Chains A and B, each alone.
Chain A
């Protein structure tokens, strides 16, 4: 079976499993939206202030809960499953790509739901023409964060403290993604160009994809 067919099959099954289990849509998204409600209360912000902090809260919660979305596959991994895929002849790089594909779809859904909730709850004063750049920034951030989570899952596979370690790996390395995505709106508000920030996001996604595909085999072998 070709590389892309294997990746597509891994991705298809992962989305089917999510539809049945509902980690993202039944657990992570509702909790993230509740956090949107709680955030202003914790900060003691008044109604005027709420509209100002909306986008920042969106990106902060996006990265926080997005890590849960990105690491959900690693949490469901097991030695038996990894051995099974190896003996079925699955290319570890195809597995990485497949997981990143399905994870990105879920992450985009998660960010879309969080963005819609933020706009409804915070009524932020978004600059003119924000829709296109915001979609581009969110999609690129979703892809990058998923790649990072998938890669962190591979790096920590087989380790006892896997879940804690994976989050600690993702958080600092996601910095270019958060900066790039949040600065897109800032740049629009100040009429500056958004291209540098979009390029930062795209370059980060590309670097993570190259690292994930290139390291998939050595990481899988090292995990046993």
Chain B
């Protein structure tokens, strides 16, 4: 299988992904150079989350080939670039028993980021007054803000957003918009998926449609 040129941050070539014997993605091609923001729209169950987890190197392709940050998908080399990939999942990925501040300190220690940034980041995302509130006693929007702070701290080159704007107030949506802008300005790429194509058009250079596991240009 011929791979797309080395150097592109994301290069997917005729990729298929099966889950439990069922094809979820089929013949997916996607090439993204630096500073690109692409949106992928699709109905529920169309394979959007699987596409993001594939790009995050958390899933290996069942067919075809691809590279993310110059590492071949499905090879052990991807372990070295995972810390350069950031993702906001459909469900907030935080530790519910910890406070917002403790979550960020924990993430900074594990990723090797500067723990001293935590207080500033709590202010940036507007959580400074709720920093000592436990995550499981916080609203969905607050949990999302913790995720935004984590991604501002880890500075990913590949930013993946799974329905990241859903259920957020305008201020929190602006924060995610700022995160997208920052990733783009540093030369990174952003892939965002949503069932709402209008929302994607507000942030993406290009919007694609994922229908029955196939990626198509939006008509």
Contacts and interface: CB of A to CB of B under 8 A. Distances in A.
Interface of A: 1, 5-6, 9-10, 13, 16-17, 20-21, 80-81, 83-90, 217, 221, 224
Interface in B82-112: 82-83, 85-87, 89, 91-95, 97-98, 102, 106-107, 109-112
Interface stretch (B53-61, B183-191, B205-213): B53-61
B112 A83 contact: no
Contacts of A87: 56, 58, 82-83, 85-87
A83 B98 contact: no
Contacts of B199: none
15 contacts: A6-B110, A9-B106, A10-B110, A17-B97, A80-B89, A80-B92, A81-B93, A83-B87, A84-B93, A84-B94, A85-B110, A88-B83, A89-B110, A224-B53, A224-B58
Contacts of A16: 97-98, 102
Contacts of B102: 13, 16
Contacts of A5: 109
Count chain A CB atoms within 10 A of each CB in B53, B85, B89, B109 and give the residue with the most. Answer: B109
Determine the interface band of chain B, counting residues with CB < 8 A from chain A: 20 to 34
B82 A224 contact: no
B113 to A, nearest CB: 9
A134 to B, nearest CB: 34
A88 B154 CA distance: 8
A1 B112 contact: yes
B95 A17 contact: yes
Count chain B CB atoms within 10 A of each CB in A10, A13, A21, A85 and give the residue with the most. Answer: A13
Given A13-B95, A21-B97, A88-B154, A83 B111 contact: no
Count chain B CB atoms within 10 A of each CB in A21, A84, A87, A224 and give the residue with the most. Answer: A87
Contacts of B111: 1, 88-89
A83 B97 contact: no
Contacts, number: 62
Given A87-B58, A89-B82, 7 more contacts: A5-B109, A13-B98, A83-B53, A87-B56, A88-B107, A89-B110, A89-B111
B93 A80 contact: yes
Given A88-B83, A89-B83, A224-B58, A83 B109 contact: no
A120 to B, nearest CB: 32
A86 B109 contact: no
Main secondary structure of the interface of A (DSSP, over half): helix
Contacts of A84: 93-94
Nearest to B59: A224
A175 to B, nearest CB: 34
Count chain A CB atoms within 10 A of each CB in B53, B83, B85, B94 and give the residue with the most. Answer: B83
B154 A20 contact: no
Given A9-B109, A16-B98, A17-B97, A86 B58 contact: yes
B171 to A, nearest CB: 24
A85 B91 CA distance: 15
Q: 9 closest A-B pairs (Cβ-Cβ)?
A: A89-B83, A84-B93, A1-B112, A80-B93, A17-B97, A88-B111, A88-B110, A9-B109, A20-B97
Contacts of A224: 53, 58-59
Contact of B93 (A13, A83, A217): A83
Contacts of A85: 110
Interface string B121-159: 000000000000000000000000000000000100000
A171 B89 CA distance: 35
Contacts of B86: 87
B109 A1 contact: yes
Contact of B106 (A13, A20, A83): A13
Interface in B56-86: 56, 58-60, 79, 82-83, 85-86
Interface in B152-183: 154
Nearest to B76: A217
A140 B82 CA distance: 36
